[in-house]
Amino acid sequence: MEPLIVTAALTGAVTVPTQTPYLPYTIEHLAEDAERCARAGAAIIHIHARNPENGAPSSDMDLFGEILKAIKARTDAVICTTTGGGVGMAPADRVRVVPTWQPELATCNMGSMNFSVHPIARRFNDDDYRFPWEARWLKGSEDFIFPNTFASIRHFLEEMRKTDTRPEFEIYDVGHLYNLEFMLSEGLVEKPIWLQFVMGVLGGIRATLYDLTHLLDTATRLFGADGYRWSVIGAGYPQQFHMCTAAIMLGGHARVGLEDNIFVRRGVLGRNHELVEKIVRIAGEFDRPIATPAEVRSLLNLKGQERVGF
Ligand code: KMH
Ligand code: ZN
């Protein structure tokens, strides 16, 4: 099996600061976590921008650039920028990071869907929150449709092609693989395809082994066994470690981090690098080597750190 690509998704736009004091949102904290995760074995760092004052998700391009530069100064890991953004951000604002900062790798979300985290708000009283935006954000997601129309996916892929940014396809449900097949038939996607199965989001497919094998069977039927690589996200605990362990066993790749799960053990809040260390430990038990950033650049055919715009 090829070496395991570990992605650390440091912060995202779903977890709120009240859930865990370890959620990084200042530039310094993001850069420090990126460095620690890279040392622990993460070869890809997945990044969203947040307002450093209050942790609110942000689409400010200057801020995004500061974060990207700070991370690049501390690690040679591949940086994968989000184009998913956060609740309520317009697609035009989400994609702007690609032409502005020309990353090696960026997400491309493959379908519109309900995307909700409103049940998290049930864990807190209104006066528990550290910042006023958090309750609104969590509760408001009950009415949120994550927009990824065919027109916007096409636009995102065209922008990525211009900057030689490779797409990481976020697949939240089996129909998203068929959407990707359509984009491939339109000549908008090149092989090899890099898939990220996002499992366990309310609105998408569940994080179970049954669902994972269904996704894999479908991807193999559509793209051929050698036509794609895959990684998996299990949202929540213990799903993050269950799905990533399955990936270690099946030849896939693994994403961990506070964007998707805040616990390192049941009831124990983890730091980003502790989540990376845990999955690297599990991979070691299965004799699966860990990919370096150089190996990832070669496996995913990336343009290289010297050709990004930050
Ligand atoms: N927020 C995750 C559920 C993106 O950033 O474009 C999926 C994600 C998508 O990471
Ligand atoms: Zn993300």
For 1-10, how does the pLDDT look when each residue is reduced to its tens digit (9 = 90+)? 999 999 999 9
Residue 151 CB: number of other CB atoms within 10 A?
9
**Do 270 and 21 touch, CB atoms closer than 8 A?**
no
Q: What is the mean pLDDT of residues 20-29?
A: 98
Taking the C-alpha atoms of residue 308 and residue 310, their distance in angstroms, rounded to an integer, is: 6
Atom 1, ligand 1: residue with shortest CA distance = 12
CA–centroid distance, 281 to ligand 1, in Å, is 25
Nearest atom, ligand 1, residue 83 CA: 6
Within 6 Å (CB) of ligand 1, which residues are found? 9, 12, 14, 82-84, 107, 109, 170, 198, 201, 259
CA–centroid distance, 306 to ligand 1, in Å, is 25
Q: List the shell of residues around ion ligand 2, using CB closer than 5 Å.
A: 12, 82
Tokens 């669902």 correspond to 211
CA–centroid distance, 82 to ligand 1, in Å, is 7
pLDDT for 177 beyond 90: yes
pLDDT for 199 beyond 90: yes
**Whole-number percent of the chain with pLDDT over 70:** 100
CA distances to 84, 173, 264, 281 from 47, rounded to whole Å, are 10, 22, 20, 24
Taking the C-alpha atoms of residue 168 and residue 69, their distance in angstroms, rounded to an integer, is: 21
Q: What is the mean pLDDT of residues 99-117?
A: 98
- Secondary structure class of 42 (helix, strand, coil): coil
Atom 9, ligand 1: residue with shortest CA distance = 84
pLDDT of residue 88: 87
Task: Kindly state the tokens that stand for 60.
Answer: 């400010």
Nearest atom, ligand 1, residue 107 CA: 6
Q: pTM surpassing 0.95?
A: yes
Nearest atom, ligand 1, residue 13 CA: 1
Tokens 């690297």 correspond to 280
Which amino acid belongs to residue 152? S
Q: What is the mean pLDDT of residues 261-267?
A: 98
pLDDT of residue 251: 98
pLDDT for 42 beyond 90: yes
Q: What is the mean pLDDT of residues 212-218?
A: 98
pLDDT of residue 247: 98
Task: Kindly state the tokens that stand for 119.
Answer: 């049940």
CA–centroid distance, 196 to ligand 1, in Å, is 9
Nearest atom, ligand 1, residue 94 CA: 6
